[in-house]
């Protein structure tokens, strides 16, 4: 695919040669547990990267701490495995100073939403030019199985033998609440869907939050099974398609409409007027519809779970572009700084 | 009426009032006029942490002390020669510091029954004999200001607020200072409010004229210019000098300056200042918290910028984990701590030197970080350049330990020639540095320079040098993750050896020992340089042999420090903490150094240090 498909990456140098997935593989032994959903995500991203057409030395992966945060070691780009929760902050300094880089953050539900929650919401609020991949497996894996901020309430884990008391975060709702300009959700096992979402995220200028439902087969196996099993999958998944009526279900028999109070509601297609079915608009400036959709699912049964791009808007300029522009404007107007003049100042006296 | 002019060599003035009375501005203006006259000077602002404490109360008192002289001075003075007290609270809070016989100017308008009661005066000290030891000048500053402004289109409240300018005019007259600079300043400051501008100038001139005509003051004082080295000077505060030092480091290294910071007293002024200098390509980022501030700075360093974070002690506590990451990543990073009183929130606007051990050891694991400390407000410029040199050359975070006194205090600064500033070479890696067993050329991010032990700095965008770094232990050379026990021991020692190697490029510690036969050494670091130096000079005038040395580098120490310590019979280490440098010296050199410590949130008085020296000298004489 032509690199012109990504005008958001216009400042990042293009590769002279065609890249392959194997160009993005390192010589490091991948050390996730056999069967971990991370393998599929790694393969999907390595497979997608050549499509960007960028010089790989201008791509950086920054991660925090957790199983998912091992990711940069396996990408043959520049990379940093940083500290718990801080990857968005570190990536912020990198992206702000280096508009010629494509900067990706890899994080997990604990890393992004618990210890690093503050950095996540502020990176999104500022519309920092970061593509944030949030691997959500609803459990702490690296510390061997404690509940996470996305675990369903009542979860019995090593640290909650009587069941967890916390109410769970909904990462898409959090991101929309922080006024993220791009929010999407995908699933580790659906490579085609994940690639579509990655493509849309890469084309977006500014921050992108991509929640990836990922299976931890050791500590929380089958957490997303209702969204994966062939028989029930399509009955639970709402595949968001921009500009299309929101219809889903094995037999395309369910849809989303507004009730008399304006709330979103799932109904049988047969029971509603066709004109009442909501047409999905990912580019709506108002995040209301996207937020409503993010609240539709049942976090325990996973019925009515939307996937795809919830929001993709352009009315907020990216932070790094504005920051670079401020500097350029001042230099344009006043000329570059003169160190001697600065040190001298205006209020001096001379001793002979 | 021409009044008598008396020559004096040194004057210490303290302006004290309510925090809304504009005392800091008044002091600043007097400072500028003194500087412009060529006096040497030092200033000591002292203000409450509360922005507007209840008016007229003791917690709301704000003061500004300055010393100016016809000779080189090193402290803002132990005691004022003249105290301006704008209200009873200011009088009560400051009178204990005023020596007998000094001039005391009080604003009588504020000595109302209510204001007196607020601070616990049963009767007015102006009306009993409690102030008879001083040359009391009771002046109705507020009402005279209001009277002088009655023709102006300002409210009574606005007129009253100009009383600080009346006081400034009077003091400038008393000390024979020029007035043009202040008039120009007021024109600029109130350019958008012409009526306020005119009123302030009128109040200022009324104060000056009052001095000229009143019988209250029979003499004027004059302080001749100081004999300073030839050159062009300006007055500068520590935070400003530090900001300029950082910009100079950026220019001299060719690295773009990126500041990631979160507002905190008394460091915020550095963020404010740097944000003004986009012409130099400077980027400032006000982060969501202290952690994000340093995180962004480290990310910028990874990308090839000069990453800097500024804060005070509580902020360092939050940044510790990221400093540890920078130690492990071996990337340049400047961590600037403008120390204040602690622990916890402590004394936000007061000074202290109590974060030295935090800088040395305040991280998990063996995590050595070089430490540099400026010794005076103007020296913050050179110290910032030096910290940047170490950070960039050795690929390491570096602590710069300023403090609240240096940050807000000011002194004349001989403006350096920018073309003579040292350059800093970032020496980015551009090519492979290792040949693998199968003959392919590859890049090893942890293959070190044999001299400095610094690792290569390969920034994203450099083709062929793609690599991954992180906080996990790395194999020596290749930088791959390694849990090997021997490798870990080796890497821990290598990181320490790299920081120790910094000592090879720092100058020997110089000792000021005029006759070379002193038996007492006063050894300090940071902002205590001035008071220690003044105390040594005073002690020497009374015949005591005492030497002074002052450490700029706290980690590693200069190579000759151990030898110097052994040369003196008694080594005194004055610190505004409970003996942190003293502990390091004793641990490192097994010498019986002697700590002198006070932690009052204020700089040392040179007189108390003279007492320390004198007492020690007497003990040594007696034991002979």
pLDDT per position as a tens digit, A253-270? 999 999 999 999 999 999
Tokens of B339: 């120390």
- CB atoms closer than 10 angstroms to residue A58: 25
- H helices of B71-162, in order, are 88-94, 113-118, 141-148, 156-161
In this predicted structure, the answer to whether residue A4 has a pLDDT above a threshold of 80 is: no
**Best of B295, B301, B445 to disrupt the A interface by mutation (most A CBs within 10 Å)?**
B295
Predicted confidence (pLDDT) per residue in B453-504, tens digit: 999 999 999 999 999 999 999 999 999 999 999 999 999 999 999 999 999 9
∠ Cα A206 A210 A215 (to 5°): 160
Contact residues on chain B for A326, CB-CB shorter than 8 A: 278
Q: What percent of chain A has pLDDT over 70?
A: 99
Rounded distance between C-alpha atoms, residue B93 and residue B96, angstroms: 7
Contact residues on chain B for A73, CB-CB shorter than 8 A: 468, 470, 481
Contact residues on chain A for B416, CB-CB shorter than 8 A: 343
A329–chain B nearest CA distance, Å: 9
Rounded distance between C-alpha atoms, residue A131 and residue A102, angstroms: 8
A11–chain B nearest CA distance, Å: 12
Give A 82-111 residues with CB within 8 A of chain B. 82-83, 86, 89-98, 100-101
> What local confidence, expressed as pLDDT, does residue B2 receive?
64
Which one-letter DSSP state was computed for residue B350? S
Tokens of B319: 């940044």
> What local confidence, expressed as pLDDT, does residue A1 receive?
46
B463 has a chain A CB within 8 A of its CB: yes
Rounded distance between C-alpha atoms, residue B367 and residue B308, angstroms: 19
Contact residues on chain A for B324, CB-CB shorter than 8 A: 83
Q: Looking at residues B312-339, what average pLDDT do you find?
A: 98
> What local confidence, expressed as pLDDT, does residue B37 receive?
83
Rounded distance between C-alpha atoms, residue A120 and residue A127, angstroms: 11
Give A256's strand partners.
A266
Q: Please enumerate in sequence order all residues whose Cβ is within 8 A of that of B233, keeping only pairs 6 or more positions apart, or say none.
A: A348, A349, A350, A351, B35, B38, B412, B413, B414, B415
Rounded distance between C-alpha atoms, residue B80 and residue B61, angstroms: 16
B229 has a chain A CB within 8 A of its CB: yes
A327 has a chain B CB within 8 A of its CB: yes
Q: Looking at residues B232-245, what average pLDDT do you find?
A: 96
Q: Is B384 helix (H, G, I), strand (E, B) or coil?
A: helix
Q: How many CB pairs under 8 A join A and B?
A: 203
Tokens of A60: 């950086």
Q: Looking at residues B19-27, what average pLDDT do you find?
A: 91
Determine whether the interchain pair B279/A335 forms a contact, defined as Cβ–Cβ distance below 8 Å. Answer: yes
Please classify residue B599 by burial: count the beta carbons closer than 10 Å to its beta carbon, then call 0-12 exposed, 13-18 middle and 19+ buried: middle
- Helix, strand, coil in percent for chain B, rounding step 5: 40, 20, 40
> What local confidence, expressed as pLDDT, does residue A3 receive?
47
Phi, psi at A8, each rounded to 5°:
-65, -20
Average pLDDT over chain A reads: 96
Predicted confidence (pLDDT) per residue in B159-210, tens digit: 999 999 999 999 999 998 888 889 999 999 999 999 999 999 999 999 999 9
Q: Please enumerate in sequence order all residues whose Cβ is within 8 A of that of B337, keeping only pairs 6 or more positions apart, or say none.
A: B267, B311, B312, B313, B315, B316, B355, B359, B399, B400, B401, B402
Give the CA diameter of chain B: 97
Q: Please enumerate in sequence order all residues whose Cβ is within 8 A of that of B242, keeping only pairs 6 or more positions apart, or say none.
A: B270, B336, B374, B380, B381, B383, B384, B400, B402, B407
Predicted confidence (pLDDT) per residue in B363-390, tens digit: 999 999 999 999 999 999 999 999 999 9
A344 neighbors B232 (Cβ within 8 angstroms): yes
Average pLDDT over chain B reads: 95
ipTM over 0.90: yes
In this predicted structure, the answer to whether residue B1 has a pLDDT above a threshold of 90 is: no
Cis amide prior to B556 (ω within 30 degrees)? yes
Give B 598-617 residues with CB within 8 A of chain A. none
Start-to-end CA distance of chain A, whole Å, equals 71
pLDDT band at B623 (very low <50, low <70, confident <90, very high): confident
B580 neighbors B573 (Cβ within 8 angstroms): no
Burial B330-361 (b: 16+ CB within 10 A, else e): bbbbbbbbbbbbbeeebbbbbbbbbbbebbbe
Rounded distance between C-alpha atoms, residue B494 and residue B153, angstroms: 72
- CB atoms closer than 10 angstroms to residue B620: 15
Q: Is B439 helix (H, G, I), strand (E, B) or coil?
A: coil
B182 has a chain A CB within 8 A of its CB: no
CA–CA distances in Å: residue B346 to residues B91, B313, B340, B342, B349: 25, 10, 8, 4, 9
Cis amide prior to B61 (ω within 30 degrees)? no
Determine whether the interchain pair B285/A118 forms a contact, defined as Cβ–Cβ distance below 8 Å. Answer: no
- CB atoms closer than 10 angstroms to residue B84: 31
B30, B32, B38, B39 alpha-carbon torsion, rounded to 10°: 40
Predicted confidence (pLDDT) per residue in B79-132, tens digit: 999 999 999 999 999 999 999 989 999 999 999 999 999 999 999 999 988 999
Determine whether the interchain pair B279/A334 forms a contact, defined as Cβ–Cβ distance below 8 Å. Answer: yes
Q: What percent of chain A has pLDDT over 90?
A: 96
Determine whether the interchain pair A342/B465 forms a contact, defined as Cβ–Cβ distance below 8 Å. Answer: no
Query: What is chain A's length?
Result: 352
pLDDT band at A2 (very low <50, low <70, confident <90, very high): very low
Tokens of A11: 């400042």
Predicted confidence (pLDDT) per residue in B41-87, tens digit: 999 998 888 877 888 999 999 999 999 999 988 899 989 999 999 99
Q: Which residue in A313, A293, A309 sits closest to A170, CA to CA?
A: A293
Q: Please enumerate in sequence order all residues whose Cβ is within 8 A of that of B142, keeping only pairs 6 or more positions apart, or say none.
A: B107, B109, B110, B160, B163
Tokens of A182: 């791009």
Q: Is A9 helix (H, G, I), strand (E, B) or coil?
A: helix
Determine whether the interchain pair B467/A93 forms a contact, defined as Cβ–Cβ distance below 8 Å. Answer: no
In this predicted structure, the answer to whether residue B266 has a pLDDT above a threshold of 50 is: yes
> What local confidence, expressed as pLDDT, does residue B123 receive?
92
B364–chain A nearest CA distance, Å: 13
What is the 3-state secondary structure of B476-505?
A: CECCCECCCHHHHHHHHHHHHHHHHHHHHH
B534 neighbors B73 (Cβ within 8 angstroms): yes
Q: Is A213 helix (H, G, I), strand (E, B) or coil?
A: strand
Determine whether the interchain pair A92/B258 forms a contact, defined as Cβ–Cβ distance below 8 Å. Answer: no
Residue A335 region by backbone torsions, left for phi larger than 0, else alpha for psi between -120 and 50, else beta: left
In this predicted structure, the answer to whether residue B624 has a pLDDT above a threshold of 80 is: no
Least confident of A47-61, B54-68, B330-344, B366-380: B54-68
CA atoms within 13 A of residue B179's CA, in its CB half-sphere? 22
Q: Looking at residues A174-191, what average pLDDT do you find?
A: 98
Q: Which residue in B48, B82, B241, B285 sits closest to B170, CA to CA?
A: B82
Rounded distance between C-alpha atoms, residue B403 and residue B550, angstroms: 16
Residue whose pair of structure tokens reads 């297609």 in the numeric block: A269
What is this structure's pTM?
A: 0.93
Q: Looking at residues B215-219, what average pLDDT do you find?
A: 84
B335 neighbors B284 (Cβ within 8 angstroms): no
The C-alpha R_g of chain B, in whole angstroms, comes to 27
Rounded distance between C-alpha atoms, residue B454 and residue B245, angstroms: 24
B538 neighbors B546 (Cβ within 8 angstroms): no
């Amino acid at each position: 695919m032509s690199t012109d498909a990504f005008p958001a990456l216009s400042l990042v140098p293009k590769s002279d040669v065609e890249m392959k997935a194997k160009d993005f593989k390192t010589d490091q032994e991948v050390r996730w547990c056999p069967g971990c959903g991370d393998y599929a995500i790694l393969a999907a991203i390595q497979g997608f990267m050549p499509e960007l057409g960028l010089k790989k030395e201008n791509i950086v992966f920054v991660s925090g701490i957790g199983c998912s945060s091992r990711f940069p070691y396996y990408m043959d780009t520049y990379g940093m495995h940083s500290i718990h929760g801080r990857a968005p902050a570190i990536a912020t300094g990198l992206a702000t100073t280096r508009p010629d880089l494509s900067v990706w953050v890899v994080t997990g539900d604990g890393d992004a939403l618990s210890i690093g929650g503050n950095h996540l919401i502020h990176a999104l609020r500022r519309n920092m030019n970061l593509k944030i991949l949030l691997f959500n497996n609803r459990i702490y894996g690296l510390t061997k199985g404690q509940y996470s901020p996305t675990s369903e309430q009542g979860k019995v884990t090593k640290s909650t033998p009587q069941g967890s008391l916390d109410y769970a975060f909904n990462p898409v709702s959090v991101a929309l609440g922080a006024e993220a300009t791009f929010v999407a959700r995908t699933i580790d096992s659906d490579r085609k869907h994940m690639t579509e979402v990655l493509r849309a995220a890469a084309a977006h200028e500014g921050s992108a939050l991509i929640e990836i439902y990922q299976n931890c087969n050791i500590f929380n196996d089958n957490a997303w099974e209702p969204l994966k099993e062939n028989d029930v999958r399509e009955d639970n998944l709402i595949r968001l398609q921009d500009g299309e009526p929101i219809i889903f279900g094995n037999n395309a028999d369910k849809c989303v409409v507004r009730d008399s109070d304006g709330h979103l509601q799932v109904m049988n297609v047969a029971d509603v007027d066709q004109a009442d079915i909501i047409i999905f608009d990912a580019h709506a400036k108002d995040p209301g519809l996207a937020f409503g959709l993010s609240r539709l699912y049942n976090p325990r049964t996973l019925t009515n779970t939307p996937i795809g791009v919830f929001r993709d808007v352009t009315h907020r300029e990216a932070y790094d572009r504005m920051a670079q522009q401020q500097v350029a404007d001042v230099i344009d107007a006043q000329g570059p700084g003169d160190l001697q003049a600065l040190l001298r100042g205006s209020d001096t006296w001379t001793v002979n | 009426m021409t009044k008598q002019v008396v020559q004096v060599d040194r004057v210490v003035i303290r302006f004290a009032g309510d925090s809304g009375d504009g005392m800091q501005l008044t002091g600043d203006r007097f400072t500028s006029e003194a500087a412009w006259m060529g006096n040497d000077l030092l200033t000591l602002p002292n203000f409450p942490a509360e922005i507007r404490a209840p008016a007229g109360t003791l917690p709301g008192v704000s003061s500004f002390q300055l010393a100016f002289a016809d000779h080189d001075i090193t402290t803002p003075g132990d005691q004022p020669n003249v105290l301006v007290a704008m209200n009873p609270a200011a009088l009560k809070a400051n009178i204990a510091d005023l020596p007998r016989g000094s001039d005391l100017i009080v604003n009588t308008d504020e000595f109302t029954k209510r204001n007196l009661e607020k601070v616990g005066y049963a009767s007015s000290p102006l009306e009993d004999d409690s102030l008879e030891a001083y040359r009391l000048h009771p002046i109705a500053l507020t009402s005279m200001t209001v009277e002088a402004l009655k023709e102006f289109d300002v409210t009574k409240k606005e007129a009253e607020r100009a009383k600080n300018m009346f006081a400034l005019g009077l003091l400038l007259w008393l000390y024979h200072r020029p007035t043009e600079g202040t008039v120009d300043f007021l024109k600029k400051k109130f350019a958008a409010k012409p009526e306020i501008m005119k009123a302030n100038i009128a109040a200022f001139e009324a104060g000056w004229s009052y001095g000229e005509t009143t019988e209250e003051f029979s003499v004027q004082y004059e302080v001749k210019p100081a004999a300073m080295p030839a050159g062009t000077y300006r007055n500068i505060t520590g935070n400003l000098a530090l900001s300029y030092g950082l910009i100079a480091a950026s220019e001299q290294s060719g690295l773009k300056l990126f500041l990631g910071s979160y507002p905190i007293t008394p460091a915020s002024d550095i963020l404010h200042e740097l944000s003004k200098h986009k012409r130099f390509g400077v980027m400032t980022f006000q982060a969501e918290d202290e952690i994000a501030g340093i995180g962004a700075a480290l990310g910028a360093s990874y990308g090839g910028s000069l990453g800097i974070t500024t804060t005070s002690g509580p902020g360092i506590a939050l940044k510790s984990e990221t400093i540890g990451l920078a130690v492990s990543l071996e990337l340049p990073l400047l961590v600037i701590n403008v120390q204040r009183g602690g622990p916890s929130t402590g004394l936000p606007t007061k000074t202290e030197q109590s974060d030295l051990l935090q800088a040395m050891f305040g991280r998990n694991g063996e995590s050595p970080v070089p430490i540099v400390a400026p010794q005076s407000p103007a020296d913050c410029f050179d110290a910032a350049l030096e910290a940047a040199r170490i950070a960039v050359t050795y690929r390491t975070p570096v602590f710069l330990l300023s403090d609240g006194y240096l940050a807000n205090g000011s002194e004349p600064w001989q403006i350096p020639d920018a073309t003579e500033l040292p350059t800093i070479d970032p020496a980015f890696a551009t090519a492979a540095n290792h040949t693998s067993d199968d003959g392919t050329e590859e890049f090893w991010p942890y293959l070190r320079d044999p001299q400095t032990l610094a690792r290569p700095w390969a920034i994203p965008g450099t083709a062929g040098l793609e690599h991954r770094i992180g906080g996990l232990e790395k194999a020596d050379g290749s930088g791959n993750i390694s849990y090997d026990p021997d490798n870990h021991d080796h890497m821990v020692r290598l990181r320490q050896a790299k920081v120790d190697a910094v000592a090879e490029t720092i100058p020997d510690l110089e000792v000021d020992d005029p006759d070379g036969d002193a038996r007492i050494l006063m050894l300090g670091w940071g902002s205590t340089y001035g008071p220690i130096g003044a105390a040594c000079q005073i002690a020497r005038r009374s015949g005591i042999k005492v030497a002074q040395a002052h450490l700029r580098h706290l980690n590693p120490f200069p190579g000759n420090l151990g030898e110097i310590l052994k040369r003196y019979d008694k080594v005194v280490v004055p610190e505004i903490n409970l003996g942190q440098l003293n502990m390091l010296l004793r641990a490192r050199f097994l010498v019986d150094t002697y700590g002198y410590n006070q932690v009052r949130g204020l700089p040392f008085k040179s007189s108390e240090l003279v007492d320390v020296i004198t007492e020690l000298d007497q003990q040594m004489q007696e034991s002979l």
